[in-house]
């Protein structure tokens, strides 16, 4: 299986619609073997399309577009496609219990990304594109998702513009059951194609690759089921705190093989240093999907004059509680960040690695250190301390009872601001950006507040993601004082789910 976090094109090229009284005029587009399907529900997978539409003729290929609630279906003949479009125009056709709508595509064939598109060719390797990968995806996560459907032999993960992974025996069955499904609710959506290679070469067993034909077998305890559309539930940890094990699939799940084929779920021990004790090995194999082995992240590529402990906190606190930050005297431009747990480190690595801050590209990875020790404290270029303890600050966002409201969002051009003074104006915010020498926002929007509200919130759109990151790094948790108020307002920023204003 392989994944790249990018939506791949192919076959969509310029779909045309002519609407009269709310009904598509399919005759404006010449008949084609490829049918464009829209109006799909969030939970639909490829198997739902095949189940509902194969009565019109043999289906050669399906391309899911889950975020658009659309799909392309290629039939083996124009006649089959015509039956589908005409029937859908005369009477309601339901896919996964929701009415769908059909029109001809302007393409005569769906472009296959790898050209390895024949399910009868014997290719057992699938290419998995994981879209919106908000949570870390490891070999254990992919094994848990795919093995209940079809026996997984090998997995290889590559990290480029997203996440990539490879594997799977009986690829056709896995593609049908999983194409279009979410690994976690609302994110990590699977888009599956056939891959070019017909076998994977695995050189080592770790979180990025695994040969399951040579495992150390350990039985896992069964858990509860989960909702149909999210294969592994809400997210990989419970409230971003203590680890919540990945759960086996319910017996009636569409993602699960028939009962006589399914073995107990197994987990595989993480690779440990050669000097690790056997007891450590035993405990490490008792959980699944544990990507980071430390609650400490190492950050390099920091601007020597513009980055300090507080600004690192402002950025990393969006992905978990930050306990301590320490710059390394022996390695300029490098700092250690101790977070609340290893899952917070996973999220920070996933979303902050390779972003640009003040013209320098950050490198964020898991540290070999298991704690940050306040030794060799020195003065940074801005006269602040090279070490700071944030364990007691109220600005950590994952400690309160409302921590579940935190939205884990990758860096974006739009910032959400909140906890601002109710009298704050666009001009004052622009002035704040100028005073702190950060890029100014180009668009401003204030949310309607209740009459009793004592704070203001809204959105700020910047010209680029880099500008938004720099503004957040500097202005997050900036204290704003207003007349006749004894306590300052702590301005809070985070990346918005909105793409533009």
Q: Are 415 and 493 in contact (CB under 8 A)?
A: yes
- Asked which of 54-68, 257-271, 316-330, 442-456 is least confident by mean pLDDT, the reply is 257-271
Q: What is the pLDDT of residue 132?
A: 73
CATH architecture of 125-211: 2-Layer Sandwich (3.30)
The first and second tokens of residue 311, run together, are 């600004």
CA-closest candidate to residue 351, choices 80, 135, 92, 48 = 135
Answer left, alpha or beta for residue 430, where phi above 0 means left and psi between -120 and 50 means alpha.
Answer: alpha
Average pLDDT over residues 211-222: 46
pLDDT at 159 over 80: no
In Å, what is the CA distance from 133 to each residue of 90, 163, 320? 39, 8, 17
What is the tens place of the pLDDT at every residue in 234-254? 555 433 333 333 444 444 444
Q: For the residues of 57-110, what is the DSSP string, one character each?
A: S-EEEEEEEGGGTEEEEEESSHHHHHHHHHHHHHS-EEETTEEEEEEE-S-SSP
CA-closest candidate to residue 168, choices 189, 139, 188 = 139
The residue among 447 and 139 whose pLDDT is bigger is 447
Confidence band, pLDDT 50/70/90 cuts, at residue 121: low
Average pLDDT over residues 166-190: 75
Domain extent listing, the chain: 34-104, 125-211, 296-389, 409-495
CA separation for the pair 186, 188 (Å, rounded): 7
Q: What is the pLDDT of residue 247?
A: 40
Phi, psi of 350 (to 5 degrees): -60, -40
pLDDT at 15 over 80: no
The residue among 151 and 372 whose pLDDT is bigger is 372
Helix (H) or strand (E) holding 379: none
In sequence order, the β-bridge partners of residue 445 are 459
CATH architecture of 296-389: 2-Layer Sandwich (3.30)
SS3 assignment, position 179: coil
What is the tens place of the pLDDT at every residue in 345-371? 989 998 999 999 999 999 999 998 888
CA-closest candidate to residue 294, choices 331, 236, 339 = 339
What is the tens place of the pLDDT at every residue in 256-307? 444 444 333 333 333 333 333 333 333 332 223 334 578 999 999 999 999 9
Residue 271 CB burial class (10 angstroms; 0-12, 13-18, ≥19): middle
What is the tens place of the pLDDT at every residue in 22-75? 344 444 788 999 999 998 887 788 888 888 898 999 888 888 887 788 889 999
What is the tens place of the pLDDT at every residue in 223-235? 333 334 466 655 5
Instruction: Name the one residue in this structure whose structure tokens are 């966002």.
Output: 397
Confidence band, pLDDT 50/70/90 cuts, at residue 460: very high
Top CATH class, 34-104: alpha beta
CA separation for the pair 34, 88 (Å, rounded): 14
Residues 6+ apart with CB under 8 A from 461: 413, 414, 415, 441, 442, 443, 444, 445, 500, 501
Q: For the residues of 130-171, what is the DSSP string, one character each?
A: EES--S---HHHHHHHHTTTS---EEEEEESSSEEEEE-SSH
Q: Are 226 and 233 in contact (CB under 8 A)?
A: yes
CA separation for the pair 414, 333 (Å, rounded): 27
CA separation for the pair 210, 339 (Å, rounded): 28
Residue 48 CB burial class (10 angstroms; 0-12, 13-18, ≥19): buried
Q: Are 100 and 94 in contact (CB under 8 A)?
A: yes
The residue among 4 and 97 whose pLDDT is bigger is 97
SS3 assignment, position 223: coil
If you ran DSSP here, which 8-state letter would residue 238 be given?
A: G
pTM recorded for the entire structure: 0.48
Domains 125-211 and 296-389 share a fold: yes
CA separation for the pair 391, 276 (Å, rounded): 30
CATH of domain 409-495: 3.30.70.330
pLDDT at 428 over 90: yes
The residue among 220 and 202 whose pLDDT is bigger is 202
Residues 6+ apart with CB under 8 A from 54: none
Helix (H) or strand (E) holding 278: helix 278-284
CA separation for the pair 413, 144 (Å, rounded): 34
Phi, psi of 433 (to 5 degrees): -65, -45
């Amino acid at each position: 299986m392989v994944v790249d976090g990018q939506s791949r094109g192919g076959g969509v090229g310029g779909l045309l619609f002519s609407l009269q009284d709310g009904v598509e005029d399919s005759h404006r587009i010449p008949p084609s073997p490829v049918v464009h399907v829209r109006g799909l529900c969030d939970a639909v997978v490829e198997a739902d399309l095949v189940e509902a539409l194969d009565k019109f003729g043999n289906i050669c290929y399906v391309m899911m577009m889950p975020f658009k609630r659309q799909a392309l279906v290629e039939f083996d003949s124009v006649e089959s496609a015509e039956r589908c479009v005409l029937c859908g125009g005369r009477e309601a056709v339901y896919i996964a219990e929701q009415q769908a709508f059909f029109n001809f595509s302007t393409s005569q064939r769906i472009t296959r990304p790898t050209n390895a598109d024949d399910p009868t060719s014997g290719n057992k390797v699938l290419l998995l594109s994981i879209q919106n990968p908000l949570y870390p995806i490891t070999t254990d996560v992919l094994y848990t998702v795919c093995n209940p459907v079809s026996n997984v032999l090998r997995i290889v993960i590559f990290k480029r513009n997203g996440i990539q992974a490879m594997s799977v025996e009986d690829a056709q069955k896995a593609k049908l059951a999983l194409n279009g499904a979410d690994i976690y609710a609302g994110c990590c959506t699977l888009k599956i194609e056939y891959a070019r290679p017909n076998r994977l070469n695995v050189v080592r067993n770790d979180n990025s690759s695994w040969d399951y034909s040579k495992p150390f077998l350990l039985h896992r305890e069964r858990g509860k089921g989960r909702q149909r559309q999210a294969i592994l539930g809400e997210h990989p940890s419970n409230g971003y705190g203590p680890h919540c094990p990945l759960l086996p699939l319910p017996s009636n799940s569409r993602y699960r093989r028939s009962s006589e084929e399914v073995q107990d779920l197994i987990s595989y021990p993480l690779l440990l240093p050669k000097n690790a004790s056997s007891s450590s090995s035993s405990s490490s194999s008792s959980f699944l999907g544990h990507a980071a082995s430390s609650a400490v992240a190492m950050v390099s590529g920091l601007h020597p004059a513009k980055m300090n402990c507080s600004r690192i906190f402002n950025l990393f606190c969006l992905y978990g509680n930050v306990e301590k930050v320490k710059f390394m005297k022996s390695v300029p431009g490098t700092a250690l960040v101790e977070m609340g747990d290893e899952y917070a480190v996973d999220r920070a690595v996933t979303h902050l690695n390779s972003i640009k801050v003040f013209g320098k590209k950050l490198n964020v990875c898991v540290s070999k250190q298991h704690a940050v020790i306040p030794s060799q404290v020195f003065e940074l270029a801005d006269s602040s301390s090279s070490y700071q303890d944030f364990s007691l600050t109220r600005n950590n966002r994952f400690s309160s009872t409302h921590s579940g409201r935190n939205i884990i969002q990758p860096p974006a051009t739009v910032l959400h601001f909140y906890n601002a003074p109710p009298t704050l104006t666009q001009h004052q915010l622009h002035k704040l950006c100028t005073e702190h020498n950060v890029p100014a926002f180009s668009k401003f929007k204030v949310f309607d507040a209740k009459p009793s509200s004592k704070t203001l919130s809204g959105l700020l759109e910047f010209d680029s993601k880099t500008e938004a990151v720099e503004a957040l790094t500097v202005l997050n948790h900036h204290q704003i004082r207003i007349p006749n108020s004894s306590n300052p307002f702590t301005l809070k920023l985070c990346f918005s789910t909105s793409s533009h204003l």
